[in-house]
Structure 1
Amino acid sequence: MSLKFVEVLLVLFMAALGLVHADLDCRMESVEKVLGDEETLVDFDFRLIGRERLLNGTVTVHVELDNEFEFSHEIFSHRNGEWVPSSIGVHYKTCLYMSVIYDKYFAPFLTDSNLLKGKDACPFKKGKYYLKNIEVTGSNWAHYARLGLVKSVLLIKKNDLIVGGVNCVVVLQEKGF
């Protein structure tokens, strides 16, 4: 079999499982901070505003986040009344997370924000950063997500202790429904 044929079979298999979607609507349902185990070094103070559920708030980073910190990002889907872990999840040191995940999947939303991006995001500098009227969309990351309720859990750790994080719940559905 040719490699191209195997790729086509893989895409068809993923589509049959409901893992590939064309255009999705993404609606933020909730957002809550995760406090640190012993101390909170990264404080996410967010709220959702209006019918559009726009993300507003601040991220306060109390120390410079260098590669001594790990970003653990897990995705869960809601099935039969329970949160079920998906196969989508990463555990990266700060610089790798910022360049591979954050810059590609989250920074594009940040139209009115002073959060660091690109090469400026590593190490992530100490400071207070704002987000104003941020619309979260599924256009660049939902191709592998399941429809329905999805929970995204970001934990920031140092020496296996949580030092901050954020939980977000979104509803993903096909456009037009």
Structure 2
Amino acid sequence: MKQFLFCILIMLIGKTCALIPKTYEARFISITSNGTNLFDLSQIRFLGRERMANGTFELKEDLDNESLSFVGETFIDSVGDGEYKQLPFAAPKQSICTALKAYWSYFESSLKYGVNTDFPGHTHPCPIPKGIYYVKDVVLKNDNWPVIMPRGYLKAVGTFFKNDQYGGGLEIVIQISDLS
């Protein structure tokens, strides 16, 4: 009985925390890729005070579960001096389609198919089809992000492996700041 009540208490606390308003905003700083023959992000630019992502990106081949896997790590630079410290939030090595399905919810409010992108991430395709996709006026929306986030420059580093060999890297830097 105690275990049952404890489970109910935990669920209620979780639902209550979801109602707490977010006190931060996020904006793009940069996106870079390196050493990859899998994709090209060099045509994405950030415009305006809102740092809206605009441009195209290319997936150079179909990204399938059998040959491609992904690992993600996060780092924080709270004061902006370039000294990043690793955070305990990471994505373990997993197939690319599994990763897209697991983490798409963090991006779905920012990337709307048919509105500001033609990338079909919302359908969780597998394999992820090669092609050139656009992004237009994409701003970061933190609707599905944790209620509490560290402030400063957050760097997400993704490493891709093709047939268990290094296939390239992706680095996205965003700034988390208090709402003005």
Equivalent of 2:158 in 154, 160, 176: 154
Note if contact 2:100-2:124 (Cα within 8 Å) is conserved in structure 1.
Answer: no
Alignment partners' CA distance in 2, 1:159 and 1:44: 22
Note if contact 1:26-1:137 (Cα within 8 Å) is conserved in structure 2.
Answer: yes
Structure 1 stretches of 4+ with a deviation exceeding 6 A read 7-11
Within 5 A, what are the aligned runs for 1:10-89? 22-36=22-36, 40-45=37-42, 46-67=44-65, 68-79=67-78, 81=81, 82-89=83-90
Amino acid in structure 2 at the alignment position of 1:96: T
Identity between Structure 1 and Structure 2 (%) = 25
Measure how far apart 1:121 and its partner are: 2.3
Alignment partners' CA distance in 2, 1:132 and 1:163: 27
Structure 2 CA distance for partners of 1:6 and 1:51, relative to 1, 3 Å? closer
Measure how far apart 1:54 and its partner are: 0.5
Give the equivalent residue in structure 2 for 1:100: 102
Measure how far apart 1:22 and its partner are: 2.2
Alignment partners' CA distance in 2, 1:21 and 1:29: 24
**Cα RMSD, aligned residues only:** 2.7
Count of residues paired in the alignment: 166
Amino acid in structure 2 at the alignment position of 1:163: G
Measure how far apart 1:97 and its partner are: 0.9
The C-alpha deviation readout for 1:79-131, integer Å capped at 9, x for no partner, is 574211111111321221111112x1113211311112233522101111111
Note if contact 1:98-1:118 (Cα within 8 Å) is conserved in structure 2.
Answer: no
Measure how far apart 1:74 and its partner are: 1.5
Note if contact 1:69-1:157 (Cα within 8 Å) is conserved in structure 2.
Answer: yes
Structure 2 CA distance for partners of 1:107 and 1:163, relative to 1, 3 Å? farther
My pick for the range that moved more, 22-31 or 157-166, is: 157-166
My pick for the range that moved more, 81-90 or 125-134, is: 81-90
Structure 2 CA distance for partners of 1:144 and 1:66, relative to 1, 3 Å? farther
Measure how far apart 1:132 and its partner are: 1.1
Equivalent of 1:3 in 3, 7, 11: 7
TM-score by length of 1: 0.79
Alignment partners' CA distance in 1, 2:96 and 2:109: 18
Structure 1 unaligned residues grouped into runs of 5+: 12-19
The C-alpha deviation readout for 1:12-60, integer Å capped at 9, x for no partner, is xxxxxxxx97232112122222222xxx121222221122100112221
Structure 2 unaligned residues grouped into runs of 5+: none
Structure 2 CA distance for partners of 1:138 and 1:54, relative to 1, 3 Å? same
The 3-state SS of whatever aligns with 1:70 is: strand
Measure how far apart 1:163 and its partner are: 2.5
